[in-house]
Amino acid sequence: MNILLKSATIFDSKSEHHLKNLDVLIENGHISNIAPNITCPSNCQEIKLDNLTISNGWFDASVSFGEPGYEDRETITHGIEVAAKSGFTQVGLNSNCYPFTDSKSIVNFLKTKSVGTGVNIHPIGSLTKESKGQDIAELYDMQQAGAIAFNDYKKGTKNANLIKIALQYTQSFNGLVMSYPNNCNIAGDGVVNEGVNSTHLGLKGTPALAEELQVSRDLFLLEYTGGRLHIPTISTAKSVVLIKEAKSKGLQVTCSVSADHLTITDDELHAFDANFKIAPPLRTQKDIDALLEGIKDGTIDFITSDHDPIDIENKKLEFSNAFDGTTGLESLFISLQNILGLDILIDKITTTPLSIFGLEISTIKVGEKANLSLFTTKGTQIFTKEAILSTSKNSAYIGKETTGKVYGSYNNSILTLA
The residues pairing with 255 across neighbouring beta strands, listed in sequence order, are 231
Run of H or E including 285: helix 285-296
**Alpha-carbon gap, residue 280 to 123, rounded angstroms:** 22
Cβ neighbors of 176 (< 8 A, separation 6 or more) are 148, 149, 150, 170, 228, 229, 230, 356, 357
Which string of DSSP letters, residue by residue, matches 28-72?
A: TTEEEEEESSPPPPTTSEEE--TT-EEEEPEEEEEE---TTT-TT
Query: Cα–Cα distance between 354 and 84 in angstroms, integer?
Result: 17
DSSP classification of residue 249: T
- Give the Cα separation of 336 and 402 in Å (integer): 8
Helix, strand or coil, per DSSP, at residue 395:
strand
Collapsing DSSP states into helix, strand and coil, what is residue 9?
strand
Query: How many Å apart are CA 234 and CA 194, to the nearest integer?
Result: 16
Tell me if the bond preceding 68 is cis, omega within 30° of 0: yes
State the Cα–Cα distance between residues 129 and 138, nearest whole angstrom: 8
24 within 8 A of 54, measured Cβ to Cβ: yes
The residues annotated with a catalytic role in the active site are: 306
For residues 175 and 11, give the distance between their C-alpha atoms in angstroms, rounded to a whole number: 32
Let me know: does 139 contact 166? Beta carbons within 8 Å.
yes
Q: How far is the C-alpha of 310 from the C-alpha of 326, rounded, in Å?
A: 7
Alpha carbon distance 101, 110 (integer Å): 9
Are 212 and 241 spatial neighbours (Cβ–Cβ below 8 Å)?
no
The neighbour count for residue 146, using CB atoms within 10 Å, is 16
Q: Is the dihedral of CA 397, 402, 405, 406 positive or negative?
A: negative
